[in-house]
């Protein structure tokens, strides 16, 4: 990089820069290691590329906040100074720089903001050498669609300068308005607007009575991530759950040295509690930026796919959804459990690529009300992001109405709709070249797979999933390789776009079992023949050199 050169106009600096070639946003914005973002010009280049790619931002309102991970506060100060230099009129910032991703979406929508910048690497680890991320959300509160992220990337590849004002730092801890050049900065309560929205959707009185009855105990693990203040305000203060219900509720820059991913591996403390002696009746965890959730009963893990289906089947019990669902949507790798609910209640079910941005058009067009992904994300039309605490409240509302255990509700659901045995195997930190070779080898096999037999399995279809948006007609290709069998079972392979180091290969296996007498099998045992077949077809062990997955969920 060249030395910093500045051209001053009043207190606005125009800083000469050069492009970085690695600023292509992934599934949820740009994610890199903290040292990468801290390089001279790196963050500034990307933020300027966002502003340069937007038309009509002068004088407009933006929302800004993050999950509290390392570098969050410093990045906010830089972005505020750049926003002022670029003519933004007002920025709403979460107190202490904290905004969960769903809360940011809520605030964008409530204030009819032009857009928002969210600082998070979601469920990835935090710390000086760990991960950081930046993503742009548009005026509907949802992640920028591909046409916007493509424009941002294209601009980043030719950028030659950025604008920033000379100014002191904003006090992020003090509520109220402050001036930054010609721009107003409003430091707002991070929790209040989101809590108000939740109260409008759920029966807080009924949930409160349920929590205070003495017959029900819950445990919420925020993993030292962003939802701690939200969970304490809602569950313990507003709903009256006992003190200590929320575990690890203080957001920390390094998430307490943990991995803020709410799954059976990384939320191990909660898993031990829920599978131990005298377990609470209900357990939940959320991730780094608050948009994911894990649901547990006593000695029971509820898969995200089943959770989505159960919420859809019981939506009429919840005030905000009692008038019915316009439709449901799921990502392609998510199990077909919700499809069966949609069919029974007579609504449409949409299958989209992975990435919450694909649900935005369906929600805006009122084609879908509930959406979900197998990667622990569930949400609805109340915001345009997946929402971890919303899912927890939805479950609590159902439990309060039905007065049954989590296990009973799940088993009754399986009895009615059948059980989708389902699992995801993640191979993390794979060498990128090897991961790409595996996927290309699979693509080369696709034309010859249909009709092929592997023991008891006959291939019905094999393709690289392509999605045509039913609202705007946009096409997204190469979204994951699907191999479906004549009995309805399927295997899916895709590379994740959420990591910052190497590649993550994801294998999804699913088998539908309608017979209630066969619903007691262990999931991995029930899927063992499919898992073996997946390795045979894709040559996972031989190609990437891994004997077993990093994480199984």
What is d(CA 368, CA 357) in angstroms, rounded to the nearest whole number? Answer: 13
What is d(CA 32, CA 334) in angstroms, rounded to the nearest whole number? Answer: 27
Contact between residue 332 and residue 354 where contact means Cβ atoms under 8 Å apart: yes
Residues 185 and 228 in one domain: no
Q: What local confidence, expressed as pLDDT, does residue 442 receive?
A: 96
Residues 527 and 477 in one domain: yes
Q: What local confidence, expressed as pLDDT, does residue 553 receive?
A: 86
440: CATH: 3.30.310.50
What is d(CA 94, CA 168) in angstroms, rounded to the nearest whole number? Answer: 19
Active site residues: 122
Whole-prediction pTM: 0.93
Domain final residue, candidates 417, 450, 467: 417
Sequence-distant contacts of 40-43: CB under 8 A, at least 24 apart:
40/1, 40/4, 41/1, 41/4, 41/15, 41/17, 41/162, 43/75, 43/78, 43/79, 43/134
Residues 136 and 207 in one domain: no
Residues 361 and 494 in one domain: no
Helices (H), 482-527: 523-526
Strand duo 282-286 + 131-137: pairing: unpaired
What is d(CA 127, CA 514) in angstroms, rounded to the nearest whole number? Answer: 46
Residues 77 and 175 in one domain: yes
| Structural domain boundaries enclosing 369 | 194-417
Residues 171 and 292 in one domain: no
Q: Is 478 left (phi over 0), alpha (psi -120 to 50) or beta?
A: left
Q: What b/e sequence results for 240-250 when a residue is b if at least 16 CB atoms lie within 10 Å of its CB, and e otherwise?
A: ebeeebbbbbe
Residues 172 and 227 in one domain: no
Per-block average pLDDT, block size 10, for the chain (553 residues)?
44 96 90 97 98 97 98 98 98 98 98 98 94 97 92 97 96 96 97 98 98 95 97 98 96 95 93 97 97 97 96 98 97 97 98 91 96 95 98 98 98 97 94 95 95 95 96 92 95 79 91 94 95 96 93 87
Domain final residue, candidates 368, 384, 417: 417
pLDDT in tens, 43-56: 999 999 999 999 99
Residues 166 and 257 in one domain: no
Residues 428 and 528 in one domain: yes
The count of other CB atoms within 10 Å of the CB of residue 127 is 17
Residues 298 and 429 in one domain: no
Number of folded domains that form the chain: 3
Residues 425 and 396 in one domain: no
**Of 228, 249, 250, 231, nearest to 241 (Cα)?**
231
Residues 410 and 458 in one domain: no
Structure letter (DSSP) for residue 181:
T
279: CATH: 3.40.120.10
DSSP code per residue over 289-330: TS-BEEEEETTEEE-HHHHHHHHHHTGGGSGGGTT--SEEEE
Domain final residue, candidates 417, 446, 466: 417
Please return the burial class of 58, using the count of CB atoms within 10 Å of its CB with bins 0-12, 13-18 and 19+: exposed
């Amino acid at each position: 990089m060249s030395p910093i050169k500045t051209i001053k106009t009043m207190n606005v600096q125009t800083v000469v820069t050069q492009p970085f070639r690695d600023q292509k946003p992934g599934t949820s914005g740009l994610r890199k290691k903290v040292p990468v973002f801290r390089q001279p010009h790196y963050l500034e280049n990307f933020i300027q590329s966002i502003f340069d790619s937007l038309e009509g931002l002068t004088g407009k309102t933006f929302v800004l906040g993050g999950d509290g991970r390392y570098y969050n506060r410093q990045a906010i100060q830089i972005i505020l100074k750049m926003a002022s230099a670029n003519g933004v009129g007002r920025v709403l910032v979460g107190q202490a720089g904290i905004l969960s991703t769903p809360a940011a979406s809520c605030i964008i929508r409530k204030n009819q903001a032009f857009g928002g910048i969210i600082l998070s690497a979601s469920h990835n680890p935090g710390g000086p050498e760990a991960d950081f991320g930046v993503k742009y959300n548009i005026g509907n509160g949802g992640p920028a669609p591909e046409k916007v992220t493509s424009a941002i990337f294209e601009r980043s590849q030719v950028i030659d300068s950025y604008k920033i004002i000379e100014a002191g730092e904003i006090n992020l801890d003090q509520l109220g308005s402050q001036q930054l050049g010609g721009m107003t900065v409003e430091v707002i309560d991070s929790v209040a607007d989101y809590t108000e929205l939740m109260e409008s959707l759920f029966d807080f009185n009924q949930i409160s009575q349920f929590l205070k009855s003495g017959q029900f105990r819950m445990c919420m693990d925020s993993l030292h991530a962003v939802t701690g203040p939200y969970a304490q305000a809602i569950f313990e203060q507003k709903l009256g759950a006992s003190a200590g219900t929320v575990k690890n509720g203080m957001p920390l820059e390094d998430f307490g040295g943990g991995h803020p991913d709410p799954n059976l591996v990384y939320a191990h403390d909660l898993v031990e509690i829920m599978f131990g002696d005298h377990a609470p009746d209900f357990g939940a965890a959320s991730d780094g930026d608050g948009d994911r959730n894990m649901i547990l009963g006593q000695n029971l893990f509820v898969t995200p796919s089943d959770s989505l289906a159960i919420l859809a089947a019981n939506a009429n019990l919840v005030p905000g959804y009692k008038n019915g669902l316009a439709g449901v949507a799921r990502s392609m790798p998510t199990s077909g459990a919700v499809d069966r609910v949609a069919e029974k209640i007579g609504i449409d079910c949409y299958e989209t690529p992975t990435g919450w941005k694909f649900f935005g058009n369906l929600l805006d067009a009122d084609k879908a009300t509930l959406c979900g992904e197998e990667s622990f994300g569930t949400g609805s039309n109340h915001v345009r992001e997946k929402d971890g605490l919303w899912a927890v409240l939805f479950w609590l509302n159902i439990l309060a109405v039905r007065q049954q255990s989590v296990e009973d509700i799940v088993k009754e659901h399986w009895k009615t709709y059948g059980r989708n045995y389902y699992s995801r195997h993640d191979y993390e930190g794979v060498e990128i070249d090897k991961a790409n070779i595996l996927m290309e080898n699979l693509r080369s096999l696709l034309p010859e797979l249909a009709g092929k037999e592997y023991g008891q399995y006959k291939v019905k279809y094999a393709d690289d999933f392509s999605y045509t948006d039913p609202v705007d007609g946009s096409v997204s290709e190469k979204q994951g390789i699907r191999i479906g069998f004549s009995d309805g079972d399927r295997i899916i392979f895709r590379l994740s776009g959420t990591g910052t180091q190497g590649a993550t290969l994801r294998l999804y296996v699913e088998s539908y079992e309608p017979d209630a007498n066969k619903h007691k099998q262990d999931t991995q045992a029930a899927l063992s023949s499919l898992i073996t077949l997946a390795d045979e077809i894709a040559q996972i062990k031989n190609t990437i050199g891994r004997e077993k997955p990093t994480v199984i969920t």
